[in-house]
Structure 1
């Protein structure tokens, strides 16, 4: 099989099965695992897959820059945001992650809701300036422009000095085996720091993130209270996450 044919075969597997297992492909095609791994490296370099131990997973479309992400499934993000916003209790404190789905959550919060919002996102803060009863706490640090959030040691230290009832966390990849992932190591560390300061953590995941993976792991499923998604309830990944004991909050309709 020519290299171009192997490439098409691998991309087809990724589309049909949602993953590539290198040893299985090698056995099916009668080639070495090294050849498969080289092909996967090439595909990953083009942004067509996310390499993981033993093979590859679909790459998340949510790794593009912040401005471009605002155009990715905006309707799905609004549906997820509506469900997430309803979780914020009157008088409660919520840690609101950065990113485009979290921004949709901020915009979905009732303008007269009395609550405390803790965030490391200047855009989230700006979106809530005209909410008269919302107390806003902005955690500072180095600004990671890809997601318009503060990251780094200073931001993580600031996060360790707050606490909240609820953390609404954004990720770029949601996969039963790979877990919750994002594309930057410092951002992943910041997300862990935020989630650790809340009684409950709910993950915001519009459908394009389901079944995909990015390079850096954020949290294991054991540390998550629930997943809010507009993906099909029968989606293989959604069913697998539910089987792990994670509450699935449907954001359809």
Structure 2
């Protein structure tokens, strides 16, 4: 019999055989990513899964630990607990990124200014895209947020959340879900309002800048939106730098 050959070279038909734990991981991962296992769905009990895969409970738990670390599943303790499929969408991407950035900031392996700079770089195209792609519902909510900001006092505990929602909603209105995830994650990690000396004057200036950004998005004027967000972000950065140096 002739050997398997192609152009004089031995044809490669083999592939690496996975260990039992890796086979379990790959099978469950594929079921999640294909949609066979839905977001929020509970996996069968561990004893049943071990029986289905014909592996030991130890091997199964090792596989589940890896999938948990990859944020594909989450383990809920208690009598009604179990292993559940995590949400796998652009919101979960933002959550993973936000936590990672916050950990790196806490460890000191990256600096606040680095994160703030990247966030600002991403917010400029998000405003330009939002001016083109925003829908009526997003526009109405942005107007509602700015209206609430106009009437809020500087010590209102809702100010940080309103600011976060304003910027992240613009990013969502861009129509680019990856961009929206990144802006939301980086804005959450830096939380610019917490680094501002929120005097009444700064509060008024910030709201006026938000109004300009909103007006540009409403009028679908991408160039005006870019100019307004750059003015706003430059203002924030100047005041944040001054506040953090004190």
TM-score, structure 1 normalization: 0.31
Bigger strand fraction: 1
User: Which structure's CA Rg is the greater one?
Assistant: 2
TM (normalized to structure 2)?
0.32
